[in-house]
Amino acid sequence: MAQDFLPINGTDHIEFYVGNAKQSALFYQYAFGFQLVAYAGPETGVRDRASYVLRQNKITLVLTTSLQPDSEIADHVKKHGDGVKVLALWVDDATKSFQETTLRGAEPAFPPKVLKDEFGEVTVSAIKTYGETIHAFVERKKYNGPFLPGYKPRTSGVNIEPIGLKYVDHCVGNVELGKMNTWVDFYEKVMGFSLLVTFDDKDISTEYSALMSKVVSNGNGYIKFPINEPAQGKKKSQIEEYLDFYRGAGVQHIAIATDDIIHTVGELRKRGVEFLYVPETYYEDVMERVGSINESLEELKKLNILIDRDEEGYLLQIFTKPIQDRPTVFFEIIERNGAKSFGKGNFKALFESIEREQALRGNL
């Protein structure tokens, strides 16, 4: 096998550009159990922005807002609303990652730069992907600070209990009609990923709307990026609704893994996080479809958690409603018990649920 020209250790962090980072940071602390670990802003010598860094186990989220009306961040928020700007990948060599990918056709976002502070140094570079989203490459082997040079350690006055969110399982992109294969090619050729699965409109369609999806993954499988595009249906696809409101391609959902979905989702619900609703009828024949599982069906039903099985095991999953007012980005909570797939058996029930929400918004 050819040598992996882009070895990746995992997801480094996910940065959102938001309208009000201070309030968003509290939302992720209170509702999702993240801990504030670092901050950059006027108090730390950064004049144009404020960024809050939140962590739970291996997941690091950064919430950044502009302090000025005319900036790249403010423009991004004006156009897209709150959304994901950076899907950052943890690498051993950010310079080589940039060279190898740009050599293969990646558009640079910024060339390698070395950032230093009292905790050491980090090299960061970045390339562009779909929409205005970028992939940063972060090399942090000479660093032991809380996040990146320039960020100061910061804790919150409130003591937040983690709720079992462990790591980023996959991040999904929505791209324009006809662009799915372009971006699959990009991940294959430019980043050395390979195609894992394809879903076409026969797998993923309801009476009304449809989508197509392909999943690409890096060599060690730590990074999985499903790419969706709208497909022709009787009414507006959920992907089109996203593209209309996000004003282009972007991150649709971030799936976060837990070892105890009943505990995690119970906590999220208690804290006010809203999930897509799947009717009780879903549970009538689900056991026939998935066979025996370790969890109590009653508890899963009470929390509205979905179940699917593949050749290797089963998985439990649930999807939040959009986490901002535009019907754009949302989260998935997933517990894998051997299954490496994405819940294909739940697509129909889920999409019907999404369509009910779309109809309520007047967008179906």
Q: What is the contact surface with Fe ion in residues (CB under 5 A)?
A: 255, 332
Q: Which is nearer to Fe ion, 39 or 347 (CB)?
A: 347
**Token pair of 331, please?**
């989260």
Asked whether 305 and 268 are in contact (CB, 8 A), the reply is no
Q: Kindly state the smallest distance separating residue 325's Cβ from Fe ion, in Å.
A: 22
Q: Kindly state the smallest distance separating residue 147's Cβ from Fe ion, in Å.
A: 26
347: closest CA among 224, 164, 202? 202
Q: Which is nearer to Fe ion, 247 or 344 (CB)?
A: 344
Q: Kindly state the smallest distance separating residue 254's Cβ from Fe ion, in Å.
A: 9
Q: Which is nearer to Fe ion, 332 or 355 (CB)?
A: 332
Q: Which is nearer to Fe ion, 15 or 332 (CB)?
A: 332
Q: How far is CA 28 from the centre of its chain?
A: 14
Q: Kindly state the smallest distance separating residue 172's Cβ from Fe ion, in Å.
A: 5
Q: Kindly state the smallest distance separating residue 22's Cβ from Fe ion, in Å.
A: 29
Q: Which is nearer to Fe ion, 36 or 278 (CB)?
A: 278
Q: Kindly state the smallest distance separating residue 353's Cβ from Fe ion, in Å.
A: 14
**Token pair of 322, please?**
């959009």
Asked whether 226 and 170 are in contact (CB, 8 A), the reply is yes
Q: Kindly state the smallest distance separating residue 111's Cβ from Fe ion, in Å.
A: 32
Q: Which is nearer to Fe ion, 138 or 276 (CB)?
A: 276
Q: Supply the DSSP symbol for 338.
A: B
CA distances from 346 to 274, 280, 282, 318, 319 (A): 19, 14, 9, 10, 11
3 vs 291: CA distance, rounded Å: 40
- Could you give the 3-state DSSP secondary structure of residue 38? strand
Q: Which is nearer to Fe ion, 28 or 347 (CB)?
A: 347
- DSSP E strands in the chain: the ranges are 10-17, 35-40, 49-56, 59-66, 83-91, 108-117, 120-128, 134-143, 152-153, 165-174, 194-199, 210-217, 224-231, 250-258, 306-310, 313-319, 330-337
Asked whether 231 and 213 are in contact (CB, 8 A), the reply is no
Q: Kindly state the smallest distance separating residue 242's Cβ from Fe ion, in Å.
A: 14
146: closest CA among 157, 137, 138, 155? 155
Q: Which is nearer to Fe ion, 104 or 340 (CB)?
A: 340
